[in-house]
Amino acid sequence: MPQSWAKQGLLLSASADRPWMMTHAALPLAHWLRDDVFRVYFCSRDASGRAQIGQGELELGDPPKILSVSEQPCIGLGRLGAFDDSGATSSWLVVHEGRQYQYYTGWSLGVTVPFYFYIGLAVSDDNGASFHKVSEAPILERSSVDPFLTASPCVLIEDGAWRMWYVSAVRWELRDGQPMHYYHVRYAESADGIHWRPTGVVCIDFQSEDEYAIARPCVLKDGDLYKMWYCCRGKAYRIGYAESADGLRWQRRDAEAGIDVSETGWDSEMLAYPFVFDHKGRRFMLYNGNRYGQTGFGLACLQDRSLSSGS
């Protein structure tokens, strides 16, 4: 059944009064704190274009609003030469046995290709007040399964097993003399959330020759059905949607995503990086608009939808 999302407007854009937040407010994710208030993690770029992860508080009122934004990033750059010395972008948060696991993407610059990125992990033992990286190395890096890059993990724990859906590149190729990346969504598993085994299973693949990037998977489970939102592009990112009975074999249903660009404004050219979450019987989506989050992130609410559980 096609979805229908009602846009609630732009929530947050960059604030030049914070050195880590000169441009962009991208890749938002929400974690429930209290009542109708969520902590939202997102990444912004400094004057050198390097992304770091900060946080704010979002109140799902009428209208929804950002209550505060951190003065400093909570996950910053790695040391010179590390996999994340040129950027850290937000992706997913899991709470397990009182510890918060924040999965992120670390960026470094390349020579033959413009960048490399791999999946990292930072943990918090003080309810998100501070995070420390579990390693200066990525937790899912290049391998024979993923020979080019890994990024944008989504992680669920089911019956003691940690399940990850993530971005993996299949190739780079030169287009008009410039390197062009091609990546889609794959699947990995873990027993502890730190040591991962990539399976090689492709969950969301390219749908046409024009498509070259499928990014930021977000998976929820409704009863026995897995649902995934993501963004995909040929010319510009749009939000896609897929369903699965087991989390491994997916059917793309992009026409049922139920959200598209606006006629004018901050999300009139692009929709990207969806994060879908439930609260008090309603389903919400945080997402980015034009220029990969340069215009900030906004909120949408799923219409005519009743959920059985709250946050």
Q: Using DSSP, state whether 5 is helix, strand or coil.
A: strand
Residue 136 lies in a domain: yes
Residue 89 lies in a domain: yes
* pLDDT value of position 85: 98
Residue 205 lies in a domain: yes
* pLDDT value of position 7: 98
What's the CATH number where 76 sits? 2.115.10.20
The boundaries of the domain holding residue 252 are 5-20+68-271
pLDDT at 311 over 70: no
* pLDDT value of position 307: 47
pLDDT at 200 over 50: yes
* pLDDT value of position 187: 98
* pLDDT value of position 154: 98
**Rounded CA gap, 68 and 72, in Å?**
12
pLDDT in tens, 116-132: 999 999 999 999 999 99
DSSP E strands in the chain: the ranges are 5-12, 23-34, 37-45, 51-59, 65-69, 87-96, 99-109, 115-124, 132-133, 150-158, 161-175, 178-190, 196-204, 213-222, 225-233, 237-244, 250-252, 272-279, 282-288, 297-302
Q: What are phi and psi of 201, to 5 degrees?
A: -70, 125
Task: Compute the mean pLDDT over every residue in the chain, rounded to the nearest whole number.
Answer: 96
Residue 213 lies in a domain: yes
pTM of the full predicted structure? 0.96
pLDDT in tens, 142-171: 999 999 999 999 999 999 999 999 999 999
Query: Quick one: average pLDDT of 258-266?
Result: 98
pLDDT in tens, 34-71: 999 999 999 999 999 999 999 999 999 999 999 999 99
Which residue has tokens 């441009």? 23
Which residue has tokens 């369903």? 243
pLDDT at 247 over 60: yes
pLDDT at 308 over 60: no
pLDDT at 306 over 90: no
pLDDT at 305 over 60: no
Q: What is the tally of structural domains in the chain?
A: 1
Residue 34 lies in a domain: no
* pLDDT value of position 310: 43
Residue 167's DSSP bridge partners are: 151, 185
Confidence of residue 196 (pLDDT cuts 50, 70, 90): very high
Residue 227 lies in a domain: yes
* pLDDT value of position 1: 75
Query: Quick one: average pLDDT of 275-302?
Result: 98
**Rounded CA gap, 285 and 301, in Å?**
6
Residue 58 lies in a domain: no
Q: Of 256, 245, 303, 309, nearest to 281 (Cα)?
A: 309
Query: Quick one: average pLDDT of 229-234?
Result: 96
Residue 302 lies in a domain: no
